[in-house]
Copies of this chain bind each other. A is one copy, B any other.
């Protein structure tokens, strides 16, 4: 299995998991079932759609594979009827979002590589594919975007994974394994941030003064 063969699988997986997070946000907003389908769909396909538009992929991936919209709709219906079974929908949302990041970033890296992009653009497409679906979801729903959460690795996780993929390929690792390690890196950084408080220093308006 080479990297190119992995794209449809990665795209399906990331669309599915992001769709679940979109439907969970719809449940927090107490929408009706078509509202769930709407949120699940644009969250699921948002990041990859922006990536394809920027790379000039014509048409964007889901126009050529409309079965993906069936996937997002089924995900929405599933969440509509089962979300009440979970004690903390927010915690479920955050963890599914972490999982989706771990699949979407390698999907973005893979598409950009296949399109012949250079390393900087590959990293950018990994980050964009990972983050923009969730960003659109949170912005439309008037929730605080996860990218704005302080003291959590989010952008850093996607960036770390994308850079890892590019570095491994540069070192001669096969595309397939580079994508696997990329996804694990993204998820591990994000999970470590959620479980153990891993973070990098944030900006502080007034740094502590050194005494003279």
A31 to B203, CA, bound (A): 6
Q: How distant is the Cα of A203 from the Cα of B89 in the complex, in angstroms?
A: 13
A203 touches B156 (CB 8 A): no
- A31 partner, pick from B26, B148, B159, beta carbons under 8 A: B148
Residue ID in chain B nearest A150 by CB atoms: B30
Copies of this subunit: 3
A70–B63 CA distance with the chains assembled, in angstroms: 32
The dominant DSSP class at the A interface is: helix
Shortest distance from the beta carbon of A163 to any chain B beta carbon, whole Å? 11
Q: Does A135 contact B (CB under 8 A)?
A: yes
B150 contacts A140, CB within 8 Å? no
Which B residue sits closest to A67, measured CB to CB? B120
List which A33-65 residues lie within 8 A (CB) of chain B: 33-38, 41, 49, 53-56, 58-60, 63
- Chain A residues 48 to 96 lying within 8 A of chain B, measured CB to CB, are 49, 53-56, 58-60, 63, 66-67, 69-70, 80, 83-84, 89
A143 to chain B, nearest CB (A): 10
Tell me whether A206 and B145 are in contact (CB under 8 A). no
Q: Which residues of B contact A118 (CB under 8 A)?
A: 66
Task: Say which one of A10-18, A98-106, A170-178, A194-202 lies at the interface with B.
Answer: A194-202
Whether A60 contacts B54 by the Cβ 8 Å rule is yes
A135 close to B144 (CB less than 8 A) = no
Interface set, chain A 133-183, CB cutoff 8 A to B: 135, 139-142, 144-145, 147-148, 150-151, 153-156, 159
Known contacts A34-B155, A34-B156; is-contact A205 B54 (Cβ 8 Å): no
Interface residue? A211 (CB, 8 A): no
- A-B pairs with beta carbons under 8 Å apart, 8 shown: A29-B148, A30-B204, A31-B148, A35-B156, A49-B54, A70-B120, A84-B206, A84-B207
A interface residue numbers (CB < 8 A to B): 26-27, 29-38, 41, 49, 53-56, 58-60, 63, 66-67, 69-70, 80, 83-84, 89, 117-118, 120-121, 124, 127, 131, 135, 139-142, 144-145, 147-148, 150-151, 153-156, 159, 199-207
